[in-house]
Amino acid sequence: EAGVAQSPRYKIIEKRQSVAFWCNPISGHATLYWYQQILGQGPKLLIQFQNNGVVDDSQLPKDRFSAERLKGVDSTLKIQPAKLEDSAVYLCASSSRQGYNYGYTFGSGTRLTVV
Amino acid sequence: ELKVEQNPLFLSMQEGKNYTIYCNYSTTSDRLYWYRQDPGKSLESLFVLLSNGAVKQEGRLMASLDTKARLSTLHITAAVHDLSATYFCAVDKGNNDMRFGAGTRLTVKP
């Protein structure tokens, strides 16, 4: 089966600019996650979707980050305006109901550098 | 607030040696994951531990879970260079929401 697709792979922007990341989960996976991984740290959950509804966005900085999952398939994560501390790898993961017992499948990530 | 602590954070070992990585967590959970991450790559699922006393093995890696002690271990037997990577444990805090530890960066030297 095809994996979790993310784009772009790399992005460099100046602070105060905006940026958007895209994720296409594995077909049929109802749950989609966005994680932020700062260099040298473990991934931190930003938002969890179940189909097109938000399950948990308690750690999403809502003043600058937004995410949507229209039609319960693809998802986009946006940052506006970006700050230097947003430099990180943004990982998308998906899982099916059965997948909870097998681990989640992660995409390759988008590496964001804010200068 | 669920806290997940791994130790050691850095581990340098020689080929052929054995070692254990520890993962402690602060609140009750009955589902724990181990992932591997190579530099510049994404995370690869290694093990999912679903109940107290669960033990899983794959090659030179063996993972176990003690839910009463809130502790999981990842044991490495006779390490080889190919095992060099960062290993993360992640705990399900409920609602299928994983929280990750900081990771253990393992380097296996000849």
Give residue limits of the domains in chain B. Answer: 4-109
pLDDT for the residue numbered A76:
97
What's the pLDDT tens digit per position in B20-71? Answer: 999 999 988 878 999 999 988 889 999 999 888 889 999 999 999 999 999 9
Cα dist from A31 to A28, B66, B88, whole Å: 9, 27, 21
pLDDT for the residue numbered B94:
75
User: What chain B residue is nearest to A55 in terms of C-alpha separation?
Assistant: B95
Q: Do A103 and B35 touch (CB under 8 A)?
A: yes
User: What chain A residue is nearest to B30 in terms of C-alpha separation?
Assistant: A101
Contacts with B98 from chain A: Cβ below 8 Å = 33, 45, 104
Q: Do B99 and A31 touch (CB under 8 A)?
A: no
Contacts with A101 from chain B: Cβ below 8 Å = 48, 50
Q: Which contiguous run of DSSP H or E holds residue B108?
A: strand B104-109
CA-based nearest distance A36→chain B, Å: 11
Cβ–Cβ under 8 Å, residues B92 and B29: yes
Give the three-state DSSP class for B36.
Answer: strand
Which amino acid would we find at residue B93? K
CA-based nearest distance B100→chain A, Å: 6
pLDDT for the residue numbered B45:
92
Cβ–Cβ under 8 Å, residues A21 and A35: no
Rounded CA separation A100/A94 (Å): 10
Contacts with A43 from chain B: Cβ below 8 Å = 43, 88, 100
| Topology of the domain comprising B4-109 | Immunoglobulin-like (2.60.40)
Q: Do A42 and B33 touch (CB under 8 A)?
A: no
Q: What angle do CA A69, A26, A47 make, to 5 degrees?
A: 40
Please identify which residue in the block is written with the tokens 């398939």.
A73
Q: Which contiguous run of DSSP H or E holds residue B20?
A: strand B19-25
pLDDT for the residue numbered A52:
85
Which segment of B7-21, B68-82, B85-99 scores lowest on mean pLDDT? B85-99
Beta bridge partners of B36: B44, B87
Rounded CA separation B68/B24 (Å): 11
Contacts with B31 from chain A: Cβ below 8 Å = 100
CA A29 to chain centre: 15
* Residue ranges of domains in chain A, CATH in brackets: 5-109 (2.60.40.10)
Q: What is the pLDDT along chain A (115 residues), one digit of tens a residue?
A: 678 999 999 999 999 999 999 999 999 898 999 999 999 899 999 999 998 899 989 999 999 999 999 888 999 999 999 999 999 999 999 988 655 666 789 999 999 999 9
Of the partner residues A42, A102, A107, the one whose CB lies closest to the CB of residue B88: A42
Report residue A99 as tokens: 């997948």
